[in-house]
Structure 1
Amino acid sequence: MDFQQLGKQFIGGEWRDGKSTKSLPDINPYNDAVIATFQIANVADIDCAYQAAYKAKLEWDKVNPYAKRDILENAVKYIEAHEEEITSIIVQELGGTRLKAAFEIGLVKNMIKEAATFPLRMEGKILPSVEDGKENRLYRIPVGVVGVISPFNFPFFLSMKSVVPALGAGNGVVLKPHEDSPITGGTLIGKIFEEAGVPKGLLNVVVTDIKEIGDAFVEHPIPRVISFTGSTKVGSYIGQLAVKNFKKPLLELGGNSAFIILEDADIDYAVQAATFSRFTHQGQICMSANRILVQQTIYQDFTDKFRDKVSTLTTGDPSDPQTIIGPVINNRQAETLEKLIASGIEQGASALVQGKITGRMVEPTVLVNVQPDMAVAQEELFGPVVCIIPFETEEDAIEIANDTRFGLSGAIHTSNLERGVEMAKKIHTGMIHVNDITINDEPIVAFGGEKQSGLGRLNGEWSLDEFTTLKWISVNYKQRKFPY
């Protein structure tokens, strides 16, 4: 697979440069190597992409549902045939480890397999009527065209999480990947579906930046749904802009997940699960555990073992199979983490493990003596930094866990599973996992957040609902009698 070929816009089934005079270098965050350079898309390109998706959707309507399923399944075959190359671009473009790449590719393949069933699940209903001789039919139909805006952290999966269900439900799609992941989150996906055999123009990928296009991607009159994954601040703006323009927003936003360890938990297992929940892909996952809440009676035992475990995590070249923690995506992320750590220490926290920050390389940091109202406990820590907070009672843990504007994921560790379930019901979050990690996503289970962690649900039947609409067509077999 030629990564230079993927350094183009994919609009109307053609690989070409954008019409803007500006360029975007795609930089390896570990060594600053330039992977590809994009001539970015402008507002005219955005219009071309949406027009192409609209026209191609009309062709997609004519394709037999079983043929659509086969085309989408071809995408899995293409990924499997090019898995090593896809692993390479995840490592190069994202600073992801090979372990992270394997995890992400597995999620993508499962998502495509689920969405490939959508063409066969476009079921309607026939409902009775209050009028004699009348029949009410409900048809499930595609919304039309979907605009997808994806993030930099798990871009292959988080782009695909909206793109392929939207295609499977019969829509055209325009995808705008993050400028730090234009290949993995964008043009790679365009290439996969081009090779799979979707109609030309059904999926379009525009690589650009907001300074160039402003609000044009969301405000364009063609898309009916805007699916955004990213920060809560930007998501709030996009959601309001979408509603203002009578489009449905789907928002998967930030998190501040609590990983709760009760005194009857298996501490050694909890240490392993907490480590994975925080440090996978440098902690750059919306579901990552930001706050580890530990019952006071086991606090010292846990923190000792957690410190020892975290101290073994290797930071370095993500292409090295032994590396657990690679670079964060850009300098801005590293600087934000450095400021949050400093503010926490200034406010009274102390470092159980103090990692160095050298450019984009951020070594693990574990903060203790953290108060729930500190910035490090309230903000999303999008990197290899975590807070440990003790609690006395179960009620205290629930209160601390809920003391956040976010509500995405979480975990509870206890030997009493039903106690864990009852506790989980009291935590205001879209997802929470008993005796597991905070990072979970399965293709047939509803995924989404509460509070400022998002709007809507994706995966399985919920994605099918989000990317389709219901149309009522009634048939009157008789003539009505009118009062005048």
Structure 2
Amino acid sequence: MNVHTTLTAYDGFTGQYINGQWCSGSAMRELEDFNPYNDNLLTRIAMAGVDDLDRAYEAAQQAQKSWAMALPKERAAIFHNAVGILDRRRDEIIDWIIRESGSTRMKATIEFNGVRDGMIEAASMPYLMHGFIMPVDRPGKEARVYRKPVGVIAVISPWNVPLHLSNRSVAPALALGNAVVLKPASDTPVTGGLLLAKIYEEAGLPPGVLNVVIGAGSDIGDAFCAHPIPRIISFTGSTEVGQRIARISGGSPRLKKLGLELGGNSPLVILDDADIDVAVKAALVGRFDHCGQICMSTNRIIVDGALYDNFLDAFCAAVSEIKCGDPNADDTMIGPLCNDAQVQSVTGLIESGRQQGFDLRVSGETEGRIIPPHVFAGVTNDSRLARSEIFGPVAPVIRAADEREALAFANDTEYGLSSAVITGDEQRGMRFAQGLEAGMTHINDMTIHDFPHVMFGGEKNSGLGRFNGHWIIEEFTTDHLVTVQR
């Protein structure tokens, strides 16, 4: 397997990656990809049409047959090669994440490390497709269960953590012998898709095993989900779009399995015995990392009344020290929101909080797409501010009378992705965590965590299925029963 060793900066992000070829799309229109901080044009991409989508799925279907037969060490080698490429191109890749998604350098570095860790985890997966033998109540009969790849997996990824949230599905899908067609968000076509294709191409992945299509949802979105070839659709994004994908996929002539990681309204609950310094740190990073544009972000801060005033004073003092501005600067915590629609949505929520008379403790003026941190105190749990997935640097702080009311507030949401509780008593925290209606709960830490070998997923309207480790192996493979009668 040939692995390129000459290090020249990646370029040519102007079209599609289909069957190992870089080609223009057929939609007869271009996508202009801008830097959200300074509006510099990064690239123009000839967008895909339905014909391009058909070619991508057909190439994936054809390539998957031989890829599934590759030895485990051959598939694992791709990911070991990819880790080496990431290490050599670290600065180049982090720079792309900053420029295209508006990520701060801190967040882009964390995202890069997440992708690298995911590659290492994926390298182990070809060896973990375990089958088993079962006894049967019949003389001389044996039942064998073989674990196999499902075939072609369709991946739709979001713009907020584009490289990681694409690769979180792509890497295990490929490692397990599937082929992939990836559609990244239009705000991040390079870091969400084309850059990943370059990495895998350089790592030696055979043509057709990974295909990337860049197209408007109005042109190829429905067809992407309804197409008869993919067996699984793995989507990360909003609950509203996830529900639409479920409806469209249900109308496909071939039944599909859905893996949906959707919206969140993650509560951080601070009990009356919490260490305030621990609570402030968890709330600060959990709410404002990447401007709050993370599905696991602390969306509500729920504080026991006994600690409410002391916590609020310390939290507001810390928030006031946050640096906003150029995402490329090492000490910037809040850079630009990804697009103008997001700015409009967040400023609308801020205005809603003002109109409802909540106590605005920290604020500032919006400049371009940079919204400084806002802290609202005295927020009610049934308000628009508390019930919305904010996806911006706005922190609603809610007073709870006691532990019982804090738990009721935390669970009073349609979402159930991540959650956290801060307490001086680990056993108390464990009891509280068991009462939370969420896929993930963290004791004495923030709500944002994603480890490549540890389960990730939500309850209620936050999604279906699980990512990472052996959970994603179960999601992206199928069991085949073969019996033998001797």
Q: TM-score range by the shorter chain?
A: over 0.9
Deviation per residue, 1:317-359 (Å, 9 max, x gap): 1111121110000000010011111112212212111122233
Find out whether 1:285 has 2:294 as its counterpart: yes
**What amino acid sits opposite 2:349 in the alignment?**
L
For residues 326-341 of structure 1, the aligned pairs below 5 Å read: 326-341=335-350
**What amino acid sits opposite 1:420 in the alignment?**
G
Find out whether 1:210 has 2:235 as its counterpart: no
- By how many angstroms is 1:11 displaced? 0.5
Structure 1 runs (4+) deviating above 3 angstroms are: 1-4
Find out whether 1:439 has 2:451 as its counterpart: no
**What amino acid sits opposite 1:448 in the alignment?**
G
Three-state SS of the structure 1 residue aligned to 2:415 is coil
Deviation per residue, 1:282-335 (Å, 9 max, x gap): 110000001111111111111111111101111101111121110000000010
Find out whether 1:164 has 2:171 as its counterpart: yes
Partners of 2:130 and 2:302 lie apart in 1 by 45
- By how many angstroms is 1:266 displaced? 0.9
Equivalent position to 1:427, from 411, 425, 436: 436
Deviation per residue, 1:185-209 (Å, 9 max, x gap): 1001101111111111100010111
Counterpart contact for 2:98–2:327, Cα < 8 Å = yes
For residues 220-239 of structure 1, the aligned pairs below 5 Å read: 220-239=227-246
Find out whether 1:193 has 2:200 as its counterpart: yes
For residues 319-468 of structure 1, the aligned pairs below 5 Å read: 319-468=328-477
Partners of 1:186 and 1:355 lie apart in 2 by 35
Alignment partner, residue 480 of structure 1 = none
Alignment partner, residue 175 of structure 1 = 182
**What amino acid sits opposite 1:192 in the alignment?**
I
**What amino acid sits opposite 2:391 in the alignment?**
F
CA RMSD after TM alignment: 1.0
Three-state SS of the structure 2 residue aligned to 1:116 is helix
Three-state SS of the structure 2 residue aligned to 1:382 is coil
Find out whether 1:301 has 2:348 as its counterpart: no
- By how many angstroms is 1:133 displaced? 1.7
Counterpart contact for 2:155–2:182, Cα < 8 Å = yes
- By how many angstroms is 1:214 displaced? 4.0
Counterpart contact for 1:7–1:187, Cα < 8 Å = no
Three-state SS of the structure 1 residue aligned to 2:386 is helix
TM norm structure 1? 0.97
Counterpart contact for 2:9–2:92, Cα < 8 Å = no
Partners of 1:277 and 1:132 lie apart in 2 by 59
**What amino acid sits opposite 1:300 in the alignment?**
D
Partners of 2:446 and 2:243 lie apart in 1 by 28
- By how many angstroms is 1:272 displaced? 1.2
Three-state SS of the structure 1 residue aligned to 2:142 is strand
Alignment partner, residue 3 of structure 2 = none
For residues 86-105 of structure 1, the aligned pairs below 5 Å read: 86-105=93-112
Partners of 1:35 and 1:433 lie apart in 2 by 38
**What amino acid sits opposite 1:29 in the alignment?**
P
- By how many angstroms is 1:365 displaced? 0.5
Find out whether 1:57 has 2:75 as its counterpart: no
Counterpart contact for 2:133–2:143, Cα < 8 Å = yes
**What amino acid sits opposite 1:202 in the alignment?**
V
Alignment partner, residue 35 of structure 1 = 42
Counterpart contact for 1:18–1:39, Cα < 8 Å = yes
Structure 2 residues not aligned, in runs of 5+: 1-7
Greater mean alpha carbon deviation, residues 391-400 or residues 124-133: 124-133
For residues 260-279 of structure 1, the aligned pairs below 5 Å read: 260-279=269-288
- By how many angstroms is 1:213 displaced? 1.6
Same amino acid, percent of matched pairs: 47
Q: Aligned residue pairs: how many?
A: 477
Alignment partner, residue 14 of structure 2 = 7
Partners of 1:259 and 1:356 lie apart in 2 by 27
Counterpart contact for 2:308–2:399, Cα < 8 Å = yes
**What amino acid sits opposite 1:320 in the alignment?**
A
Structure 1 residues not aligned, in runs of 5+: 478-484
**What amino acid sits opposite 1:36 in the alignment?**
T
Counterpart contact for 2:10–2:198, Cα < 8 Å = no
Equivalent position to 1:143, from 134, 141, 150: 150
Three-state SS of the structure 2 residue aligned to 1:357 is coil
Partners of 2:221 and 2:133 lie apart in 1 by 44
Counterpart contact for 1:348–1:369, Cα < 8 Å = no
- By how many angstroms is 1:2 displaced? 4.1
Counterpart contact for 2:68–2:149, Cα < 8 Å = no
Partners of 2:245 and 2:365 lie apart in 1 by 36
- By how many angstroms is 1:3 displaced? 5.2
Partners of 2:289 and 2:155 lie apart in 1 by 25
Partners of 2:88 and 2:407 lie apart in 1 by 47
Partners of 1:214 and 1:147 lie apart in 2 by 11
Find out whether 1:125 has 2:138 as its counterpart: no
For residues 463-474 of structure 1, the aligned pairs below 5 Å read: 463-474=472-483
Alignment partner, residue 5 of structure 2 = none
Partners of 1:173 and 1:451 lie apart in 2 by 28
**What amino acid sits opposite 2:288 in the alignment?**
F
Find out whether 1:47 has 2:58 as its counterpart: no
Partners of 1:243 and 1:193 lie apart in 2 by 32
Three-state SS of the structure 1 residue aligned to 2:33 is strand
Three-state SS of the structure 2 residue aligned to 1:337 is helix
Deviation per residue, 1:251-274 (Å, 9 max, x gap): 000100111111211101211111
Counterpart contact for 1:227–1:251, Cα < 8 Å = yes
Counterpart contact for 1:313–1:325, Cα < 8 Å = yes
Alignment partner, residue 77 of structure 1 = 84
Partners of 1:363 and 1:3 lie apart in 2 by 34
